[in-house]
Amino acid sequence: MQTEKEDEDDVDVSSEEYVARSDFTASGTDQLSFSKGDRLLVHAKPSPEWWWAELQGVIGYVPASYLRQDDAGGEEEEDVSLEDPWQDEEYFGSYGTLRLHLEMLSDKSRTETYRQVILSNSGSLSNKVVMDLGCGTGIISLFCAQLASPSVVYAVEASSMAEYTRQLVKQNGCEEVVTVLQGRAEEIELPEQVDILVSEWMGNCLLFEFMVESVLLARDRWLRDGGTMWPSSAALTLVPCQADSDYAEKMAFWERPYGLDFTPLQPLAQQEFFTKPKFSHLIEPRDCLAAPCDVICLDMYTLQVRDLEEMKGQFHFCVEKSAVFHGFTAWFTVYFDSLEAGGATVDLNTGPNSEPTHWKQTLFMLDRPVTVYTGDSISGTIVLHRNPVWRRHMTVTLHWNINGSTDDPDNSQGGTKSFPMWR
């Protein structure tokens, strides 16, 4: 609920009027929703990002980046500074070039898995209507047309790559089956419901980019009852780990470079290198200090967009090797249910015991590494908190306790750390 303003005396005399640049939907009970053009009274600015404001007698937190001061004329000045909270210009701009598509197509584990899904379901795909959401160069749609006989594949791509995708479909003789639609999946119109919604939407740490929101909106609008989601489910996996080389390279380095003591730079190194997660980390199986644990599981048939605001998981690790506990590493696995009842499920596991993928893994470095011993346990929680302003970003908060099996005073401790990804 939003807070009702008590009475006129509460209004802070320094209140300033601001105009909303765009709509904002509150994602927390203490936030205030508003529409583009609304005039809000800002009473306080407790942080650069979030202000305390009032609209028609209701008070709550609002994202400062959505507001602008009213200029003299009252007309909205041409606003060039407001970044779209989805950053779509930059996002789809990047997918309009080949770099990311080359990276994804060069990822054999990823691409062959989707090919395997199509191949192992080729019989059941006959005469089915398929939607390939975010088709990129159209690789999945081309697999469908080449390896199976669907009646139609709607290949949806928002970036300018779509015009080339049309050429690739023609070049490979698939234009009878594959129809490329350029536009955002949330906005395009299909002529019919679909039997299968296939998409490669996974970002670093599974959810970064939050393309999954588009998949859920398309599911709700276009997937017929009883239709199939590919991937069907997803799991985020976590493991406590040692990261000796990263620690040596970024932190220990300052102890004795060229015989000098540079340790006063270590707090800077901590801030600069270990505040954010490290994408594309390659963890070796020997770096894992315990058996990995699935901390968050997503069912793509029941998951709701509102669930994405905050996802929580628990973990309890039994330490299997004495080593320095530098942090946690995360990766994901997605599962593709067979179209045939009882058919085999195909999975794409991006963890250290599978073929490497372009996602690799994500390393969360702790501020203070601590030695742990076989028999210790590390338990706690992970929370993925979606950024209420920058909708493709999130913060990952880890909270852990070490229950030492030895009486070493240093290792019966715990901590908590939040990692912005990225804003």
Ligand X SMILES: NC(=[NH2+])NCCC[C@H]1O[C@@H](n2cnc3c(N)ncnc32)[C@H](O)[C@@H]1O
What is the pattern of x (binds ligand X, CB under 6 A) and - over residues 305-344?
----------------------------------------
Q: Which is nearer to ligand X, 195 or 200 (CB)?
A: 200
Q: Which is nearer to ligand X, 134 or 380 (CB)?
A: 134
Residue 132 binds ligand X, judged by CB under 6 A: no
Cα–Cα nearest to 223, from 340, 133, 139: 133
> Binders of ligand X among 205-234, rule CB under 6 A?
209, 211, 214
Q: Which is nearer to ligand X, 209 or 347 (CB)?
A: 209
What length does the chain have? Answer: 423
The count of residues interacting with ligand X (CB under 6 A) is 20
Which of 209, 272, 309, 355 is the catalytic position? 209
> Binders of ligand X among 164-203, rule CB under 6 A?
184-186, 200-203
* DSSP E strand stretches across 10-99: 16-20, 39-44, 50-55, 58-63, 67-69
Q: How far is the CB of 234 from ligand X (least distance, A)?
A: 12
What is the pattern of x (binds ligand X, CB under 6 A) and - over residues 241-280?
----------------------------------------
* Distance (Å, whole) CA 181 – CA 158: 8
Concatenated DSSP letters for 8-31? GGGS-TT-EEEEESS-B---STTB
Listing from the earlier edge strand, what are the strands of the sheet with 50-55?
Answer: 3-4, 58-63, 50-55, 39-44, 16-20, 67-69
Residue 157 binds ligand X, judged by CB under 6 A: yes
Residue 110 binds ligand X, judged by CB under 6 A: no
| Alpha-carbon dihedral sign for residues 134, 136, 140, 144 | positive
Residue 158 binds ligand X, judged by CB under 6 A: yes
Q: Which is nearer to ligand X, 34 or 201 (CB)?
A: 201
Cα atoms found within 13 Å of the Cα of residue 266, Cβ hemisphere only: 16
* Distance (Å, whole) CA 225 – CA 194: 9
Q: Is 209 marked active-site?
A: yes
Which of 54, 157, 200, 213 is the catalytic position? 200
Q: Is 200 marked active-site?
A: yes
Query: 179: Cβ–Cβ under 8 A, 6 or more apart, which residues?
Result: 152, 153, 154, 155
Residue 356 binds ligand X, judged by CB under 6 A: no
Which position's Cβ is nearest ligand X? 134
* Distance (Å, whole) CA 413 – CA 419: 20
Q: Which is nearer to ligand X, 201 or 325 (CB)?
A: 201
Q: Is the CB of residue 32 less than 8 Å from the CB of residue 66?
A: no
Cα–Cα nearest to 305, from 143, 186, 407, 402: 186
State the catalytic residues: 200, 209
- Interacting residues with ligand X (CB under 6 A): 92, 95, 104, 134, 136, 156-159, 161, 184-186, 200-203, 209, 211, 214
